[in-house]
Amino acid sequence: MLGKLIKYDVKALSRYIFPAFILSLVSAIFLRINILLRNNVGENIFTNVMNGLSIVLFVVSVVAISIGAYIAYIIYFYKSTLGDQGYFYMSLPASADEYLVSKILSGAVLMLSAVLVSVLSLLILGAFNPEFNDAFKGLYEIWKEICKVTPGGKIIATLVINGVFSLFSTQFVVAFCILSGQLLGKKKILGAFLAYLVLQAIEGFFGQITLLATLGTINVDSFAYNDVAFAQLFTRLSTGGLIVGTIMMAFEYFVARFFLTKKLNLE
Amino acid sequence: MSVNLNTVALTKRYGSETAIDNLNLSLESGQIVGLLGPNGSGKTTLIKMISGLLTPNSGEILVADKKIGKESKALVSYLPERCALPDWMKIGELVTMYKDFFNDFDENRAYAMLKDLDLDLKKTFKALSKGNREKVQLILCMSRNAKIYCLDEPIGGVDPAARDYILRTILQNYCEDSTVIISTHLIRDIEGVIDRVLFLKKGQVILNTTVDEIREEKKMSVDALFREVFAC
Amino acid sequence: MWEFTNDRPIYLQLIEQIKLRVINGTYKPGDKVPSVREIAMEAGVNPNTVQRAFLELERSGILSTQRTLGRFVTDKETDIQNNRDDMAKEQVEIFVGKMKELGLSGEDVIRLVQAYLNEEGK
């Protein structure tokens, strides 16, 4: 059942985001062509205008993918749970856990594919492009500097874990907000917003505590002018953030599950 | 004959309003039951609770002795009043989706009924007329071999010919192991099809009897009795 | 075609209409009767109702069930005759009752009926 739920959730989500993906890839190609044109043909009004247009298009598509993925997920979650389609999905022979996990995993697929398409678009834009090669060389120099201070592996691991985290965290927040928003009866969307504010408050509160606690573990004396301590701070804050994040996700999941099983109120 | 549905002291409140009030009901298999009552009497609320879309405030519902949950939903086939299916899907895809989700779904039955109506499987649900959309939803619902069929206003809002088709489809897929619950306003149209009648008023069942008993003892149609009982 | 009114139980009306079909030869003696489901679909009524009508018709001898073969019309002509006579008698009662309501006597009734039959050449 879980596999089937995921299959149909992914199918539905991809319908929302597909146009943005196409736009991103096409606009990257378009921009690349325009840059080549400008470099080879030289500047004139035509190439400048085309350049401008293609840059605008590319920026729009970047925004479309990044924001679009979130918006698509939120709209889909709401529609298939509390909207008209909820009458179908909520009557399926699936447990609340299967339902939620399917939404979470399909959301992750959505986020991941958004990232992949963005990377692909950047590659289209930057591969074998001398301007971009310079930028990459610069980044590599900075990376070598950082590796002198902390093991590069650790940094990469932290970034990867945070990355994976961010693929999932939104889904938990959305589930929490939309399902607990039902408390407000007819004003469900308002309820979802209020739930979001409550969540932010809780997160902010625990975030502050974690920050203070983490700072407390740093040896203040050795802190000043010391690159190693700085790196230590970075990784510890990161870890603290991850711990808080995990606890929040668990909290959001259990609340969402509670509302799904005990308080479901499809109007 | 088995008991397909059992409710014990079932209560559902919306804020200060009580939609279903301490309901005790027991329905056996092999019956087509008409759930009748004015607007706001709790018909849709009861059906939604049986289908698992609403949770009661107190009391219990058992579907074939199972509590409402994953197992009971596999035994209940729900036809809502509204269009609940993803309308971007093609009819053929909807049949596949039903087959995927419901083990008791008989796709051959569905294909046969869709063929009778000359419906192209490649057409999207969105592109169909309202009447055809309702028929497709009904066909998918009735192609399951469920223990309970909950049909919420299946014949409202369609022309008389479509109504006939819908009622015939319900009769055609009638099974002695299942219970069909039809909630409707259009009593005259379904009187001939239902065995048992439940009059629902303000969340309580004020009458639970058979159509034949009403006609034999009160010498009037169910429609006439309804008008009498619920006269404004 | 099956036609039902809503103020009487359908199974009673089904019994009458099936009897009529037997009497007027639509269902001939010894014929196999359509199944419960077939009649339910044709008439647009609940199968339980048809079942109830069938049971009653079996009880009164018009139909009989032969285990694996199905339901059949009786081949006993006398039973069919009796039923026809019963139904005819019912109609006569209703008719005469209506005539009496108009203030006509028994002799008037016979005269009118004879005149009608002569006219129509029946």
For residue A236, the model assigns a pLDDT of: 74
The percent of residues above 70 in pLDDT, for chain B, comes to: 100
- Domain total for chain B? 1
**CA-based nearest distance B4→chain C, Å:** 17
> How confident is residue A234, by pLDDT bands cut at 50, 70 and 90?
confident
Amino acid at C120: E
Q: What is the pLDDT of residues B127-138, one digit of tens each?
A: 998 889 989 999
Fold classification of C10-75 is Arc Repressor Mutant, subunit A (1.10.10)
**CA-based nearest distance C15→chain B, Å:** 14
Q: What is the pLDDT of residues A105-156, one digit of tens each?
A: 999 999 999 999 988 888 887 777 777 778 788 888 888 887 777 777 777 8
Q: Are residues A89 and A22 in the same domain?
A: yes
- In whole angstroms, how far apart are CA B123 and each of A52, A84, A230, B87, B142? 42, 21, 62, 11, 21
Q: Tell whether the model's pLDDT for residue B45 goes beyond 60.
A: yes
Give the residue from B44, B65, B45, B69 showing the smallest Cα distance to B57. B45
User: The CATH number of the domain where B8 resides is what?
Assistant: 3.40.50.300
Domain boundary among A128, A162, A179: A128
Instruction: Give the structural domain span for A186.
Output: 131-267
Residue of C nearest to B214 (CA): C9
Amino acid at B175: C
Domain boundaries, chain C: 10-75, 78-120
Q: Are residues A96 and A42 in the same domain?
A: yes
Q: Tell whether the model's pLDDT for residue A220 goes beyond 70.
A: no
Q: Coil, helix or strand for C63?
A: strand
**Does the beta-carbon distance from B53 to A262 stay under 8 Å?**
no
Q: Are residues A91 and A193 in the same domain?
A: no
Q: What is the pLDDT of residues C24-76, one digit of tens each?
A: 888 888 888 898 989 998 898 999 999 999 999 988 888 888 878 788 888 88
- Enclosing H/E stretch for A141: helix A130-149
Q: What is the pLDDT of residues A4-51, one digit of tens each?
A: 999 999 999 999 899 889 988 988 888 888 877 777 776 777 778 888
Highest mean pLDDT among A20-29, A78-87, B94-103, B128-137 belongs to B94-103
Question: How far, in Å, CA of B218 to CA of B201, rounded?
Answer: 20
For residue A206, the model assigns a pLDDT of: 83
Residue of A nearest to B50 (CA): A91
Give the residue from B182, B129, B136 showing the smallest Cα distance to B156. B182
Q: Are residues A135 and A267 in the same domain?
A: yes
The percent of residues above 70 in pLDDT, for chain A, comes to: 93
Kindly report each contact of residues B81-85 with a partner whose C-beta sits within 8 Å and lies 24 or more positions away, as own/partner. B81/B44, B81/B152, B81/B153, B81/B156, B82/A84, B82/A87, B83/A84, B83/B125, B83/B133, B83/B137, B84/A84, B84/A85, B84/A86, B84/A87, B84/A88, B84/B137, B85/A85, B85/A88, B85/B125, B85/B136, B85/B137, B85/B140
Mean of pLDDT over chain A: 85
Q: Are residues A70 and A139 in the same domain?
A: no
Question: How far, in Å, CA of A145 to CA of A61, rounded?
Answer: 34
From C7, C10, C11, residue closest to B220, measured CB to CB: C7
Q: How many CB atoms lie within 10 A of CB B177?
A: 13
Domain boundary among A110, A128, A146: A128
Q: Are residues A6 and A103 in the same domain?
A: yes
Q: What is the pLDDT of residues A48-72, one digit of tens each?
A: 888 888 888 888 888 888 899 999 9
Mean of pLDDT over chain B: 92
Q: Are residues A68 and A153 in the same domain?
A: no
Q: Tell whether the model's pLDDT for residue A101 goes beyond 60.
A: yes
Domain boundary among A128, A152, A172: A128
Q: Which residues of A touch B15 (CB under 8 A)?
A: 185
Instruction: Give the structural domain span for B158.
Output: 3-229
- Domain total for chain A? 2
Mean of pLDDT over chain C: 88
From C4, C11, C41, residue closest to B171, measured CB to CB: C41
Q: Are residues A177 and A257 in the same domain?
A: yes
**Does the beta-carbon distance from B212 to C4 stay under 8 Å?**
no
Q: Tell whether the model's pLDDT for residue B87 goes beyond 70.
A: yes
Question: How far, in Å, CA of A147 to CA of A99, rounded?
Answer: 43
Q: Coil, helix or strand for C37?
A: helix
**CA-based nearest distance B167→chain C, Å:** 8
Q: Is A88 on the interface with B (CB under 8 A)?
A: yes
The percent of residues above 90 in pLDDT, for chain A, comes to: 34
